[in-house]
Structure formats: structure tokens, C-alpha cells
Amino acid sequence: RRLLRDPTHGSHVRAVLRDRYRRLLLDEFQDTDPIQIELAVLIATPEEALDDREWDEVPVEPGRLFLVGDPKQ
């Protein structure tokens, strides 16, 4: 997580991961912890939209992040 947010290397690492993982699917979303969600959001968010905001405040690129969960669990 620190590497993805690193001011020196973070943008390069995120770009490599964005190129490698064009779509992200988080299954069992109800069991996902905040760190896992933050990692997925950092990879699924366009570089120009990232700043110092928290993961739940940045706009994810449409069609990149899919969440599957069971609200009854």
C-alpha cells in the first residue's frame, strides 16, 4: 500500500499494475478489509484523479472495478 502511494515510485507502479490488470473483480466484497479495497481503488483510478484524498473519495475509472457481495452475510 505504501508503494502505491509513494511520491517517487507510486505512479510508475500503479501504471504497471493498471496495464497488467485492466479489470478488477472483488468477490465476497462484504469480507474485504479497507486495505484490500484501497489497493483495488488505487489500481482502478486514473492517475490524474489521484491526490491526497482517501480511497473512498476518488473516482474509479468506469468499467475497471467490479464488486460482488452478499448483503445477507
**Which of 46, 38, 49, 37 has the alpha carbon at shortest distance from 18?**
46
Using one digit for the tens of pLDDT, what is the confidence trace for 33-58? 999 999 999 999 998 888 878 888 88
Q: Above 80 in pLDDT, residue 73?
A: no
In a domain, 7, yes or no: yes
Q: Which tops the pLDDT comparison, 1 or 51?
A: 1
Q: How many domains does the chain have?
A: 1
Look at residue 24 in the predicted model and tell me its pLDDT: 96
72 in a structural domain: no
Let me know if residue 73 belongs to a domain: no
Answer whether residue 31 is part of any domain: yes
Q: What pLDDT shows up at residue 35?
A: 93
58 contacts 41 by C-beta, under 8 angstroms: yes
Spacing of C-alpha 63 from chain mean position: 12
Whole-model pTM: value is 0.83
16 domain residue, yes or no: yes
Domain limits at 47? 2-67
In a domain, 27, yes or no: yes
Name 67's Cβ contacts closer than 8 Å, sequence gap at least 6. Answer: 26, 29
Residue 11 resides in a domain: yes
